[in-house]
Amino acid sequence: MSSVGVVTPFWLDRPPTEALDIAQAADDAGFETLWIGEMATFDAFALATAVGLRTSRISLRIGPLAVGVRSPVALALGLSTVVATTGRQAGLALGASSPRIVTGWHGREWEPVRRMKETIRDTRALLDGNRVSGFRLQQPVPGTSISVAAFGPAMTKVAAAEGDEVVLNLVSAEHVAEVRKRLVASRPLPPPLAVWITAALDPGPETLHQIRSQLAVYLAPPGYGEMFTALGHGDLVDQARQGRPRTELAAEIPRDLLEQVGAIGSAQTIADRVAEYHEAGAGHVGLVPATAEDPAGRRLLRTLAPLLAEERR
């Protein structure tokens, strides 16, 4: 069954505390799931606890968190704390992140594939109440779903074998369909697929600038660059990899690229795009609300909620 949730974004031009307002707006609009990631603002478990105490019913998916940064014990403790203190359902999502974050920021070894396999297995065992390396969680959360963010073939293989769900971010519907085919071929009962897409209702110049500035960050990295090249924007990828400043690149990103990896326009256009991702194989679509001209995405979420509910009937 298909579903639609909301993602707390990391817009470079907005105050970090807007995440709490987005959570409230999503809860008020009736969305059932909120994704809470982590970058350079808040600790994800702390933010999830604050969200759970501020909202009334929305379930939480915490992550994707960089797999090389926290131990399985730390992950299990964090998830258990959120569930126990908020009384809310919560899932966990893990991702490889990048050498800059894992090694540069946290001083940890960059071994994403091995670390992902070990962390999923040990964290799942701990959350189920088992003892791992002498530690047992006093407040286990058995049956917790562990999602895995995957892009390249190596991590997709791990996600297919070990994860309860595979998560993609900032990709086209065509890419979703390709990944879904790989998952179906990987095992008899492949994990479901979730995708995050930026959503903007009738965007003006400030909103388009906000989205372009964020997308420019993804032009150079391996995997993303190749996908954008396949979509017909190889010149931007080449410039990004040659070191052209992000602000200059953002100004040249065409609107059609934003539309290829997001849901932008009228409410019906956004709903149709969500349906395209579902049809491509995504069981869940997480909307990343643009907020430059729509604080906390309130208008977007309030407008879309009934339309998306109708589309799923």
- Tell me whether residue 25 is exposed, middle or buried, using C-beta atoms within 10 angstroms of its C-beta: 0 to 12, 13 to 18, 19 or more: buried
Alpha-carbon distance 46 to 30, whole Å?
A: 23
pLDDT in tens, 201-226: 999 999 999 999 999 988 988 888 88
- CB crowding 194-221: b at 16 or more within 10 Å, else e: bbbbbbbbbbeeebbbbbbbbbbbbbbe
Backbone angles phi, psi at 200, to 5 degrees: -145, 125
pTM: predicted TM-score of the whole model, two decimal places: 0.94
The confidence score (pLDDT) of residue 257 equals 95
Please report, rounded to a whole number, the percentage of residues in the chain having pLDDT higher than 70.
98
pLDDT band at 312 (very low <50, low <70, confident <90, very high): low
Per-residue model confidence (pLDDT) at position 118: 95
CATH of domain 3-203+259-308: 3.20.20.30
The identity of residue 257, as a single letter, is L
- Domain locations in the chain? 3-203+259-308
Question: Rounded to an integer, what distance in angstroms lies between the CA atom of residue 283 and that of residue 167?
Answer: 10
* Mean pLDDT across the chain: 93
| Dihedral (CA of 243, 179, 155, 72) sign | positive
